Amino acid sequence: MNITLAQAEKMISVAKEKSIAIETKMNIAIVDAGANLVAFSRMDGAWLGSLDIAIKKAKTARYFDMNTGLIGDLSQPGGALYNIEHSNNGLITFPGGVPIKNASGEIIGAIGVSGSSVENDHAVAEAGAAAI
């Protein structure tokens, strides 16, 4: 099962609403179950440097089917996944990437958000992921 474009667009819309509510400007990426980009939005004034980060957060969350912040915890020196961020042409291992599940609990994609603090990035990603 894969995420549809309609679902991706709905998640981006909800994520943008959350961004506006917390007064941030975000880059928002949605990938499908194969970690292929389905939809992307850059809010007016969002950091250009966060384009790539948002996409990599979404891909990282899908590659490992967990929130990117959890991967970050495991990738610290001495951690089980130390240096994992150097694999797969570069991963992002801080909060803002969240797997997306369908009603049956199957992972159908992921969302990645970047443009503010990691706390804000994660909050916006969670809001987007919860939209479907």
Give residue-wise pLDDT tens across range 66-94: 999 999 998 999 999 899 999 888 899 99
| Predicted pLDDT at 89 | 87
Measured CA to CA in angstroms, residue 92 lies from 14, 23, 68, 105, 131 at distances of: 23, 24, 7, 24, 23
Residue 54 near residue 29 (C-beta atoms within 8 A): yes
> For the packed helices 5-21 and 118-129, what is the interaxial angle rounded to 10 degrees?
140
Q: What pTM did the predictor assign?
A: 0.94
The average confidence (pLDDT) of the chain is 96
With bands split at pLDDT 50, 70 and 90, how would you rate the model's confidence at 100?
very high
pLDDT tops 80 at residue 40: yes
CATH of 5-129, one of 3.40.430.10, 3.40.50.2000, 3.30.450.150, 3.40.50.10490: 3.30.450.150
